[in-house]
Structure 1
Amino acid sequence: MSYRVIQWATGAMGKSCLRAVIDHPAMELVGLYVYGEGKAGRDAGEIARRDPTGVIATRDIDEILALDADVVIHCARLAPPYGSHDAEILRLLASGKNVISINGYSRPSHWTGERRDALDAACRAGRTSLMAAGLNPGFAGEQLAVVATGVCQALDHVEVVESVDCRAVRNPDYVFRILGFGSDPAAVDAKDPAWGPASSLNGMYEEVLAAMAEHLGMPLHAVRTDHRVYPATEDLGVAAGTIPEGRIGHVNWRWNGIVDGQTKLTMSIHWWMEATHLDEPDPPLWRIRIKGHPGVRLSLDLEKRDGDTTATSAEQVAVAGAVINAIPRVVAAAPGLVTRPLATPFQADLAHA
């Protein structure tokens, strides 16, 4: 079976997904939405550094809505507040296109009220489904950590710790405004949900913990934040610019899932521009720490295939792989808001379609 795919946005992650769709024998690229005027009107193959595809990038949402497609890979960049991309996702779902998001929607049914009702209604109108994929959100908590609890007779606490070296991220607006680097730590309260980065991330990772809790059969009663920022110990020259000494050079985002008054789930994400404040100087991408009977400790890194000299990182390749492997699941799902299944493994028959 082949799948007709629209790629939405071509930032670093979106471009990796675009390449994966173009390269995959079971995927047919039928549309490409871009935000930048410089990309509009160009062939998708040119943007992806591939041969011409005949698919021309557009900034016209109506052109995308008019296309016949099985799924849209939604890779829009984080933007405060969380849910700021709902309007376009609602239109895509209602137009008859399933949607996979790499930035949230791990368990949108966690919410109550108008937002959930609108997403439900769009899925019903288009007979479509909405599901998250990607690494985190997507794989680390909702799949990997939950599966690792399968050896436990009793479960006390699950913690996912992610450590990401952000020095190579080039976009200044993303680094300094969206992620909060370079801000004055005395002038911001990282726990304030109105602070731009927190307003983008809190809802997203509350859904991650809600998805984990759903898989584990736990009633998630609350999510409490314990975010921390650390000042740079010296002037830091990074790809996006300069972070002066004393300004934020490391953020540790922490979300705690409360079950029956106790912290049962923790998502901890270190985004750093210097390693000074890390627990260890060269941490893996993820550490999963499960306290229970027995306890479990996992350490996981990603690496590129031997001989791959492209600028695409292993993480970018992995996001695209996670999305491609999720496409058959979201297309086959009953209409509605879908929590990602515990496993969406590589499928050899799909890879050789």
Structure 2
Amino acid sequence: MVYRVVQWATGAMGTAVLRGVIDHPALELVGVFVYGEEKEGLDAGVIARRPDTGVIATRSVGDILALDADVVIHASRLGPYGSHDDEIIALLESGKNVISINGYSHPGYWPGPRAAALAAAGEKGGATLVSAGLNPGFVGEQLAVVASGLTMDLDSIEIVENVDSTAIRNPGYLFGTLGFGSDPAKVDPNDVNWGPVSALNGMFEEAVGAVAARLGLVLDTVETDHRVYAAPHDLELRAGLLKRGTVSHTNWRWTGIVGGRPMITISINWYVDSTHLDRPDPPLWQVNLVGHPGATISVDLHKHPSDTTKMTSEQYAVAAAVVNTVPQVCAAPAGLLIRPVVTPFRGDFDQAGAARPCS
């Protein structure tokens, strides 16, 4: 018996996960949801550049809800945070566990009807919602939390991500969703109505809340201090021309206040120009613990030496984070699940027929 999986959306990261599902001996792909008309009706193998699977991509939510599946991997387009609640609720009510790669680190962080509706959907369908990914996901809710075990007295914890975005090919994503190429004089990076902020604020405030919950801390509030930096010259990028004086580097910062002082900070540098970085070639992630004792942990990702594909190490890692979460979400009680501190590679799960099906 294997886990029956639906892939929801096939953008850059969704396609990477789709390949991981198709390639994994303990996972059976049973459905694919796509947004674009050009992908509708294609075999999933065509989308993933794999042999035909017999699974045909659909744009019908009803078709997906009707499937017999254990898990839906939700890799939706970024939008205002919470805008995908209705479809996630429908998936949970249909009895399918949901793994999101775009937030939902700790839905219970939000008081009121939103979290209650998500939890009730899980209870109704006997299903569980959990997040998986790199950030949010691995670097904060897992790596930073585990690293905190090195200190007896923690003053603060900082989670820093540095992403070179020059490889992004989609103009709509780079110049629209992420805010590159904007006029710094005409945007307020802390305006909750600006597109990138509306997509990211709730997602990463929730991630700060998840870290705090794992550390047994009670947040007073989460404050933002977002910053944008301008390009010193024109930049020819794969997604198009970024003009001098427009945004070439965004630094998104969320700080959790505990007992009146800054305690947990998530800082994300997305950049196509390294002028304003502290160092020209920073690590992908860095966790900085200030405490007794303190610690600094830096992490980079590398592709397998034999891999000659165009996929990046980050795409492979997202797929791994999701795939390694499947047994965890299937074993969890119905409702809302903060990401487990450890979701390791499992040799028994990696063997065909070794996995236990979801109940």
- Say yes or no: TM over 0.5: yes
Quote the Cα distance in structure 1 between the aligned partners of 2:91 and 2:238: 35
Equivalent in the alignment of 2:211: 212
Q: Deviations over 1:132-184 (max 9, x none)?
A: 00100100000001100101010000001100000111111111111000111
Equivalent in the alignment of 1:327: 326
Quote the Cα distance in structure 2 between the aligned partners of 1:352 and 1:136: 28
Equivalent in the alignment of 1:139: 138
Q: Deviations over 1:56-82 (max 9, x none)?
A: 000011000000000000001211x11
Quote the Cα distance in structure 1 between the aligned partners of 2:77 and 2:272: 20
Quote the Cα distance in structure 1 between the aligned partners of 2:119 and 2:72: 17
The one-letter code matched in structure 2 to 1:322 is A
The one-letter code matched in structure 2 to 1:325 is N
Deviation at 1:206, TM superposition (A): 0.6
Equivalent in the alignment of 1:42: 42
Structure 1 consecutive aligned stretches of length 4 or more whose deviation exceeds 4 Å: none
The one-letter code matched in structure 2 to 1:196 is G
Deviation at 1:114, TM superposition (A): 1.8
Is residue 2:76 matched to residue 1:76? Answer: yes
Is residue 2:310 matched to residue 1:344? Answer: no
The one-letter code matched in structure 2 to 1:83 is G
Tell me the SS of whatever aligns to 2:254: strand
* RMSD (Å) for aligned C-alpha atoms: 0.7
The one-letter code matched in structure 2 to 1:173 is G
Is residue 2:17 matched to residue 1:2? Answer: no
Tell me the SS of whatever aligns to 1:203: helix
Quote the Cα distance in structure 2 between the aligned partners of 1:216 and 1:117: 23
Quote the Cα distance in structure 2 between the aligned partners of 1:300 and 1:120: 34
Deviation at 1:124, TM superposition (A): 1.4
Identity %: 60
Deviation at 1:293, TM superposition (A): 0.3
More off after superposition, 167-176 vs 308-317: 167-176
Quote the Cα distance in structure 2 between the aligned partners of 1:238 and 1:222: 38
Deviation at 1:211, TM superposition (A): 0.6
Unpaired runs of 5+ residues, structure 2, are 353-359
Q: Deviations over 1:98-135 (max 9, x none)?
A: 00000000000000112112111211111110000010
Quote the Cα distance in structure 1 between the aligned partners of 2:190 and 2:31: 40
Quote the Cα distance in structure 2 between the aligned partners of 1:192 and 1:46: 41
Equivalent in the alignment of 2:356: none
Quote the Cα distance in structure 1 between the aligned partners of 2:267 and 2:34: 32
The one-letter code matched in structure 1 to 2:36 is G
Deviation at 1:313, TM superposition (A): 0.2
Deviation at 1:87, TM superposition (A): 1.3
Equivalent in the alignment of 1:284: 283
Unpaired runs of 5+ residues, structure 1, are none
Deviation at 1:43, TM superposition (A): 0.4
| Residues 1-353 of structure 1 aligned to structure 2 (within 5 Å) | 1-79=1-79, 81-353=80-352
Q: Deviations over 1:255-299 (max 9, x none)?
A: 000001010000000000100000000001001100000000011
The one-letter code matched in structure 2 to 1:156 is D
The one-letter code matched in structure 1 to 2:38 is G
Give the TM-score taking structure 1 as reference length. 0.99
Deviation at 1:193, TM superposition (A): 1.2
Quote the Cα distance in structure 1 between the aligned partners of 2:77 and 2:135: 14
The one-letter code matched in structure 1 to 2:320 is G
Deviation at 1:325, TM superposition (A): 0.3
Give the TM-score taking structure 2 as reference length. 0.97
